Structure 1
Amino acid sequence: MLILEDGNYFKGYGFGSDKETIGEVVFNTGMTGYQESITDHSYNGQLLTFTYPLIGNAGINRDDHESVFPTTKAVIVKSFARRPSNWRSQMNLDEFLKEKEIPGLTGVDTRRLTKVIREHGAMKAILTDETEDIETLLERLRNTELDHDQVAQVSTTRPYVSPDKGKKVVVIDFGLKHSILNELNKRACHVTVMPYDTKAETILNLDPDGVMLTNGPGDPTDLPEVLNMIKEIQQKVPVFGICLGHQLIALANGAKTYKMNFGHRGFNHPVKEIATGKIAFTSQNHGYAVEAASIDPAFLRVTHTEINDGTVEGLRHRVHPVFSVQYHPDAAPGPHDAEDLFDQFTELMDSWKGGNLDA
């Protein structure tokens, strides 16, 4: 049974791990990419509902993981494929969730569940096989406080290197997706991945050509210690922020963030580039956003907005070599419309070294 803190509950059949779990229930509108989504650390602490009715038909393969140890709290589907059919498949979804100790729930009306989340917002929920005393479970759920150290739970604790002979990029890991590293590797970048709480001095001592601030889970205001690091490095080296990295850049430059009602989670979000009017379909996974009215135009300008709700989707610093986007240009899964942002990052690093910056 899945019980939401507003009192709604859904009965279904368990698969995957049989452990009980509590977290924030959210929904993803993607028709594909379930493996990448489940292994995305931005879903740390969340019960992930797929709106597409059949999940798992291509199985699980070794190549499409976005992390080694996924931390999604649970997977909720209308139906999952017990017999996947794909030449790369190594196991089915049930076997994978058992291996990773992630509980699953199937046989529920995910359309109704999604409508509840859309109306009342993402909220706490408990997935349990105790189905008799709902009121006691509901009280326990409401008295449970969700974690505020989510980035610390998923960030690397030790630096590591993905070597190449190109530009030296330091990646600050707030819960990074492997696809971000893949895009940097495609461009021959020498990548050093550092923990989320690395000090500015340590980063700058590596003599990077640029710094990448990655995606990650949770509320960006839970990371006040990161803001001073960003304030310091942005004066001395190009910085590119993605998703949580975008929100942290905004906070470091005086803007505010807010919790969205149910967030953007899917691969079909249209984003407009203000300068050109170009529309890109994007992959997104975030429950917080930058408050447009809080942006100081003397320091930041908005470069992209979401077509459907006007959310701030991109920022560029007017003084320093810094830009960011709320969506995922690495597009795993999702459309590849925005991959050129990684090229823009490499061009920015070239311009910075050549002294030809134009904010």
Structure 2
Amino acid sequence: MFDPQDAVLVLEDGQVYVGEPYGAIGTTSGEIVFATGMTGYQETLTDPSYDRQIVVQTFPHIGDTGINGEDPESSRIWVAGYVVRDPSPNVSNWRATGSLDDDLESNHIVGISHIDTRKLVRHLRSAGVMRAAIFSGDALLDGDGKLRTIDSMLDEVKATPQMKGMSLYDEVSTKEAYTIEPCGEFEGKEPLFTVAAVDLGIKSMTPHRMAERGCRVHVVPSTITFDELQSLNPDGVFFSNGPGDPEQADSEVNLLRQVLDAGYPFFGICFGNQLLGRALGFGTYKLKFGHRGINQPVKDMTTGKIEITAHNHGFAVDAPIGETVDAPFENGKYGKVFVSHIDLNDNVVEGLQCVDIPAFSVQYHPEAAAGPHDAAYLFDRFVDLMRSVKEGTRNA
């Protein structure tokens, strides 16, 4: 039972949760997923990889530190909807410029609070992520002003496009190229290397991590051609994270193959890892409920070290673990490759390392915004790779 003052969450399989409105009033739909981070909700909300998704926070208390102008990872909030258990009634942080509730409302993000998110997440873990919708205010009423039936809301949920088969990277990519200059100890100095970073949903901390290492980073739209990319004279090429199904990114896979054919050092994260997998000839598949949070244990197979990492992905690369194989594309055109990282929770492929060409990728987020910094060394690996290719010392 619900009344017009409530908010109602309806899942594709018919489960219903009644709570209170949080953020904007209205209706929204998308794939419902959960994120396990205890902190970093502002970075989560502004991560373009959450485009068209309703995010459930597993940590019960959200909003304690409000919002500020420093933590967003892009120019806007990208989540389709937001689900929390106990939103903070107070804001307490010296950097805060406002409350999360007000920020969600001003950005027209429809949310729901005061529901049993533990029950909801346990259900999504067993049943798998699925389509859902949140309804509040007038969205709970029919044309006659009466409360809608759950069946009518369920019809709206089932009319929502599924994430599998959806192409979204062009939707979130920058429309104009921009440049991040070297910073920190390299500020004001000539860049050590130039990187062309293809924005498929990039987070702002990613080019910053490269700039901290003396790189000039040209962040370019997903629509860039190979000739346009070459005109930047990059020392290396980077493919970012991003939303949607990697099987619907043929144009980006073709661009990446041109990058590999030209011998540019390549580094990809998240969606970029999936595209490298496809470029090498491997398949991708949709995970049951994905990895989303800042506490995923990953093993680096090249060193044996375990790192706690930040994740946000619902798809993964299908590649053999524990062996070095010929990359399947065109009878091993790109030489040998092996799985360099695995997730210790479920053995999902978390990284690829090419042996014969200067290319590697990881499925997670070494920029760590928010999250632990265990994987920051990957940016150093990319810099070292560009240096070795530039100096002609690779594989020497």
TM-score, with structure 1 as normaliser: 0.97
> Following the alignment from structure 1 to structure 2, what is the Cα–Cα distance between the partners of residues 63 and 181?
15
Q: Does 1:298 align with 2:314?
A: no
Identity of paired residues, percent? 41
> Secondary structure in 1 aligned to 2:326?
coil
1:15-164 alignment runs, 5 A limit: 15-129=22-136, 130=140, 132-146=148-162, 148-164=166-182
SS at match of 1:333: coil
Q: Deviations over 1:259-281 (max 9, x none)?
A: 00000001111111112211001
The residue that corresponds to 2:299 in the other structure is 272
* Structure 2 match to 1:341: 378
Count residues in correspondence.
359
SS at match of 1:351: helix
Shift of 1:141: 1.6
For residues 177-230 of structure 1, give each alpha carbon's deviation from its aligned partner in whole angstroms, at most 9, with x where no partner exists. Answer: 011022012112111111112122211121101111000011111111111111
Q: Deviation at 1:146? A: 4.1
Contact 2:12–2:132 (CA under 8 A) maintained in structure 1? yes
2:19 counterpart residue number: 12
C-alpha displacement at 1:332, in angstroms?
Answer: 0.7
Q: Distance in 1 between matches of 2:378 and 2:156?
A: 45
Does the CA contact (< 8 Å) of 1:82 and 1:94 recur in 2?
Answer: no
Between the aligned partners of 2:114 and 2:374, the Cα distance in structure 1 is 35
Aligned pair in 2 of structure 1 residues 31, 3: CA closer, same or farther (>3 Å)? Answer: same
CA distance in 1, matches of 2:74, 2:300: 30
1:355 equivalent in alignment to 2:381: no
C-alpha distance in structure 2 between counterparts of 1:134 and 1:60, whole Å: 34
Q: Which has the larger radius of gyration?
A: 2
**Residues 328, 314 of structure 1: alpha-carbon distance in 2 compared, 3 angstrom cutoff:** same
- Give the alignment partner of residue 222 of structure 2, picking from 179, 196, 212: 196
Report the more deviating stretch, 227-236 or 295-304. Answer: 295-304
Structure 2 residue 230 is matched with structure 1 residue 223: no
Instruction: Choose the corresponding residue for 2:352, options 301, 315, 323.
Output: 315
Q: Could you tell me which residue of structure 1 aligns to residue 275 of structure 2? A: 248
Q: CA deviation at 1:161?
A: 1.5
Q: Which moved more, 1:25-34 or 1:130-139?
A: 130-139
Return the alpha-carbon distance in structure 2 between the equivalents of residues 100 and 179 of structure 1.
22
Q: Report how far residue 142 of structure 1 moved.
A: 1.2
Match of 1:246, as an amino acid? Answer: N
Question: Offset of 1:296 from its aligned partner?
Answer: 7.9
| Cα pair 1:298 1:318 within 8 Å, conserved | no
- For the residue of structure 1 that corresponds to 2:233, the secondary structure is coil
Q: Is the 8 A contact 2:320 2:339 kept in 1?
A: no
Using the TM superposition, name which of 285-294 and 94-103 deviates more: 285-294
Shift of 1:71: 1.5
What does residue 234 of structure 2 align with? Answer: 208
Question: Is this contact kept in 2: 1:78–1:108, CA < 8 A?
Answer: yes
Q: Is the 8 A contact 1:43 1:71 kept in 2?
A: yes
Residue 234 of structure 1 aligns to a residue whose secondary structure is helix
Q: Which residue of 2 aligns with 1:187?
A: 213
Residue number in structure 2 paired with 1:283 = 310
Letter in 1 for 2:238: M
| TM-score of the pair, normalised by structure 2 | 0.88
Helix, strand or coil: the match of 1:11?
Answer: strand
Per-residue deviation at 1:349?
0.4
User: Does the CA-based 8 Å contact 1:254-1:296 persist in structure 2?
Assistant: no
Cα deviation for residue 70 of structure 1 reads 1.8
Counterparts of 2:25 and 2:257, CA distance in 1: 45
CA distance in 2, matches of 1:139, 1:70: 27
The one-letter amino acid paired with 1:174 is L
Separation of aligned partners in 1, 2:169 and 2:22: 28
What per-residue deviation string (whole Å, max 9, x for no partner) do you get for residues 257-316 of structure 1? 100000000111111111221100100110000112499811321111111111111111
- The code of the aligned residue for 2:301 comes to I
Alignment check: 8 A CA contact 1:81 1:92 kept: no
Matches of 1:44 and 1:81 in 2, distance apart? 25
Contact 1:271 1:279 in 2 (8 A): yes
